[in-house]
Amino acid sequence: MSEEVKNVHREPHPFVSTAHLGHFVGRTVAFVGKVGAVEDQLLHMKTNAGEDVKILRYKNEVGLCEGQTVEIRGIVNKDRTISYGECTPYDNEFDMQTYEHMLEYFHGMCKELSVK
């Protein structure tokens, strides 16, 4: 794993949804979703609407399980996948629908406050 991916916690990492991934290629982001499936070095994340985002280079060292909500921090690739850096598990009470509405607002009306 590259030193760049290992140090994602040190860089600003705006929270993004699938609609914003293309605007942050090569940059560190935070993506929140539900674990869809865990494969060998690949983590499938699902949004509230059921969109799939692939997290590359995940080795399941955190022990995530299907259906768990987590925040993944990593670097966005050109193909809109994310290279895994680190993650934070959320509790079962996390409201994905409200969170995704907040992201629409933040990246819309409040986009000038976002890290560029």
* Model confidence pTM above 0.75: yes
- Exposure string over 87-111, b if 16+ CB within 10 A, otherwise e: beeeeeeeebeebbeebeebbeeee
Using an 8 Å Cβ cutoff, are 18 and 71 in contact? no
The one-digit pLDDT tens for each residue of the chain (116 residues) are 555 555 555 666 788 889 889 989 999 999 999 999 998 889 999 998 899 999 999 887 778 888 899 999 999 999 999 999 999 999 888 988 888 888 776 666 655 555 55
